[in-house]
Every structure is written in C-alpha cells, then in structure tokens.
Amino acid sequence: FIRKGGGAMKSFRTIKRIYQMMFQRNPQYIRLSIGLALLEILNPFIYIFFIRYLTDTIVSNRNWIQLSLLCLMFLLSYYSCQILVNRLEKELTIIGNKLNNDFETNLNDRIMHLDYTYLESPEVLDKRDRAIEGIKENNGIKIADINLKIISIISSVIVVAGTLYLIVSISPFVLLILIVTIIGTLFIEKKLSNIELENWKKWIPLNRRFRMVYDLMYNVKNAQDVRIYSTYDFFTSKVTSYNSDSVSILQTEGKTTAQYSILKRLLIMLQFICVQMFVVNKALAGFISIGEYTMYVNSANSFSTNAMLIVQNFVQIQKNLLYVCEYFDFLDLPSKEFETSKKEKATTPHCIEFQDVSFRYPKSKINTLDHINMKFLLDEKIGIVGKNGAGKTTFIKLLLRLYEPSNGKILLDGKDVREYDYSSYLSMFSAVFQDFNIYPISIRENIVSSNFYDSEKLLKILKELNLYSKLLKCSDGVETVASKLIDATGIDFSTGEKQMISMARAIYKPSSILILDEPTASLDANAENLLYKKYRELSTKKISFFVSHRLASCIFCDSILVFDKGQIVQQGNHKTLINDTSGLYAQMFNLQAAQYK
C-alpha cells in the first residue's frame, strides 16, 4: 500500500476508517466477510485432493462403490461450499450496496454543508468531483468492494502458502518461473493502474466543464438567449472541443493498455507451458501417478491463480484507496457547521458591530472591504447603497459568515461571532437575495422547508403577499408544485411572484436579523409598494438590512450606508444625505430621479 506523497500509514488509516464505518453501520457485514474468507480457503483444497484421489481410484482398481462414494463426498463437500460462497456473496452484495448508499449520503450531506468560500474555489470543486466520481462512477468502484478484495487477498495468501510445498516438490525451477511471471504481472498491473489514474485526474476538470456547457444548453432558463443570440454553434463547438480532448485521452490510454495487456497474456502462456513441461516429464518418467499429475497441475494452477489474484487485488486496492482517499479528504475539509467544539449558542442579538473589518478575496491584491467600523442596534433599519462592485454584497456575506474577515472582527453583543455555534448564528437570519431560488417542489415546501408547519401562519403570509388568490385556482392548493416541467398540474410563477415566494420564506422563518438584497428588482409598482408596507411590520424588534440600487426604496430606513470602493463614504438618514449635494448619495439619487421626470 505504499503510495507517493502519502505513504503506507495513510493507506492503513484509510482502511481502518472504512472498517470502522462498516462496523458502525452493519457489524454483520464483517462477520459474513470472515465466513466467506474461510470458505474461499477451503474450496481449492477440496478440489485439488479429491480430484487426485478420484483419478487414482479410476486408474487403479475401478471399484464402483468406492468411486461412487468418493464422487458423492466430492459433490457434497465441493458444491455445498460453492453454494455457501454464492449465498454469502449475495448477502454481502446486498449489505455492501446499503453501505455504499450510506457513504454516498455522507458525501451528499458534506457537499450541502460545504463552506461557502469553497464553492468559489476551482481546486475544491475539482476535489468534490474527484470524490463523487471516485466512489460513484469510476468503473463501478465502491468503498465496500475494498473489503471483498482484502478478504480475497487473505484467502489467496493462505491458499498460496498451502500449495507452495506441492509446487516445490515438482521442481524449485517451476516455483521460480511462477514467481518471475507473477512479478512481471504485478509490474504490468501497477503500470495499467497508474495510467488509468493519471488519465482520470486529467479527465475530472474536463468533465466538469463538459457538464457545465451541457447544463447551459439544456437549461430552460437559457432557452430564450440560446435562440435569440444563436448560440447553438458556439455551445456545440465547446462540447466538440471538450469531447475531442476526452477522446484523445481515452485513445492514448487505450493504445498503451493494449500493449501491456499483450505482454501480460504472453507471461501467462509462458507460465502454463513451463508447468506442463515439468509435470508431464515426471509423469512420463513414472515418478508420479496420474492422480498426482492432476494434483500437481491443479496445485500449480491454484498457486498461480491465487497469486495473480493477490497481485491484481493488491493493485486494485491501492488504486481504489487513491479514489477513497479523495473521498475522505473531501469529507475532512474544515467546516464551520461541523465544528466539534462546544460553542455558545447565539441568541436574540441586541447589537452587531463591525470592528475595523477588511476583506480581500484570495489571489486579489486589493481589499474589497477596507477598515469598516459600524455598530447596528436592535429595531434599527439600515439601508445599504452604492455603485456596482462597491462592496455591498461582500458586506452582507461577511455578516452571514459566508466569508470570514481578512482583518478585524465582527462582534455579536460584544463577542466575536466566531465564538458562537455557527448553525445557531445562522438561525438568527432571514434573507431574500437578488439571486433567489424557487425549487420544483410544492409551494408549502418552498416556504417552510419541513413536513411540520403552521398552516394558519402560512395561509396568512400567502394572503398578505397576494399569492393565495393564484393558489385558489389550483386543485392542490399549497401542495401545488412550482413547476409544470415536474408536474402537469403544477404552476409556473412569474419572476415577480417567485420573488414574493422567496419573501414569504423569509417571513415564515422566525428570525432576529432580516436581510433584503434587491428584494424589489422583479416586482411591479403595486407589489413593490406592498413589500415596503410589509417591511415596516417585519423589521419591528429586529436588526434589518435593506440592500438596493433604487435609492428611493431606502427612504424609510433609519440609517443609510453609502459604499464606494470598499469603504463607507457616507452615513445618515435620507434627509441628511440628500442635503449634502456634494456627496455620492445625492448625486446618485438625483440621477435616478431624473429618469422619472
């Protein structure tokens, strides 16, 4: 299990971790595996010795009673063993599939709880894809299968040890031939494994780009742009290019593996010829009986077969461990949600403070936010405005701890937010983002995200946001699916209605901090007015942040922060800021107002 850059210890730790997970989920799987190993050890010896005695009985005295009993014993023992092996393999396959599903569930759970910053890292996204492909797609390789290969190695080692004496008694030279061919096969198997692994690593980032283009081509949201701007040829050329690169990798791999496969077959042929020459020579010279001839030939075949299995399984486990290590490396990525330390639970906040906070994106040379010092109190409505790229969205992401400050601290009631349990901290927030998401599930599930909900509260919110009247036309009411593509009885909402559903989601969740990021971008004038009225009600006894490019929508805020080039260049209510005619706020406000005159 020696691996480049990792060493034997990492491989053994990975195997130990696999068995710990297996034992925790189903101890019966380990017990059945041990039973299978014992049967796989017993089976070849039953065959070798019974065939020898059967042959000698036939040649020597042709005693039909003795022959019949011997055949009966052989059939009962050998095929009973085979039946048990098949039964155990079937049981192990069923349990193994369940275990593999558990491992895949762990992976999916980890992906869903991945820290937000990782979602913007190509390296981590490639690591995610390697973890997915390694246990799901790569030639059917699955974690539970490693156990079967280890069991096979253990039983094969014992069989090889048991047949070794018989091989040496034929001729030490035969043993030498077998060892040389096995070592040659080991080299070839290792070489083929390395070729496959290297090409797999090249293929992963290529496949991610390939899938991305296909998603763009087939996503219904892009259908209009594809047709209006005639992007068919552009997308097709991208797919063709990625496909050509994939084919090139596969062709190179195919040519190389074919050459090594031919060499492997030649080694096996050489081994067979050498064994037959020595055994036949002994039989012709009268040194061994016909029964012993069959015993030696079967022993050599069994030795060779099991030695090859050891080599193949050894290489396969080594290769699989590289895939599985990618899986565990991804699972082990640090996560704020999976912090094991017992941190204080966040409660209703009275004050949030940015204390000399700066933030710089990885590989960037300048700060996106630069030395922000602000304090926000309960029941305060804060408007956030500024030009594109001024730092507004980054400010909100820092507030939500999707990013962590490069410098400075964010304090919750005087304590660094990193000292609070992350899940409880997030539970304080409700948010409506500009890039809101409505899922192709029922309206109820979109809003409450649970099987348990307050029906009266849900209906009240739907009525207040003018969504209930549309649901009255649907036979399934709040259980109506928000997509006709999924359910013919479903409903396709307009973009503005989807934004209101997103707003309903934020209202339904009990929270202490409300964030509205361009919440009126897709709303008509009536819906926008309704939202402003609702906002006043929602923001009571909360700290609320209203991010908008429409400066007029921030008039009702207690305080407005004007961002420019990563800094807060102005602060105050609308009246104060509009009177400062030289300030950025007044300039932007008057410029927007002129469009309506």
**Per-residue confidence of the chain (597 residues) as pLDDT tens digits?**
334 445 677 778 888 888 888 888 888 888 888 888 888 887 777 777 776 666 666 666 666 676 677 677 777 777 788 888 888 888 888 888 788 778 878 888 888 888 888 887 888 888 888 787 767 655 555 677 788 888 888 888 888 887 777 777 776 777 777 778 777 877 777 777 777 777 767 766 777 676 676 666 666 566 666 666 566 666 677 767 767 777 777 777 777 777 777 877 777 777 677 766 776 777 676 676 666 767 777 777 777 778 778 877 887 787 788 778 888 888 888 777 666 556 888 888 899 999 999 999 888 889 999 999 999 999 899 999 998 889 999 999 999 998 999 999 999 999 999 999 888 899 899 988 877 778 888 888 889 887 788 889 999 888 888 888 888 777 788 888 888 877 778 888 888 888 888 888 888 888 899 998 887 777 777 777 777 777 777 778 889 999 988 887 788 889 999 999 999 999 999 999 999 999 999 999 988 888 766
138/427 Cα distance (integer angstroms): 38
pLDDT of 119 reads 80
pLDDT of 359 reads 95
What are the φ and ψ backbone dihedral angles of 189, each rounded to 5 degrees? Answer: -60, -40
**N residues, the chain:** 597
pLDDT of 383 reads 93
Residue 564 pairs in a beta bridge with 567
Helix axis angle for 122-132 and 64-112, nearest 10°, is: 160
Count other C-beta atoms under 10 Å from residue 275's C-beta.
Answer: 23
Which spans in 113-230 are helix H?
122-132, 143-170, 172-218, 223-228
3-state secondary structure of 219: coil
pLDDT of 137 reads 53
Is residue 10 within 8 Å of residue 128, measured between CB atoms? no
pTM for the whole structure: 0.67
pLDDT of 579 reads 92
4/400 Cα distance (integer angstroms): 40
pLDDT of 270 reads 74
Is residue 44 within 8 Å of residue 159, measured between CB atoms? yes
Which two structure tokens, joined as six digits, stand for 72?
A: 């009966």
281/287 Cα distance (integer angstroms): 9
pLDDT of 472 reads 79
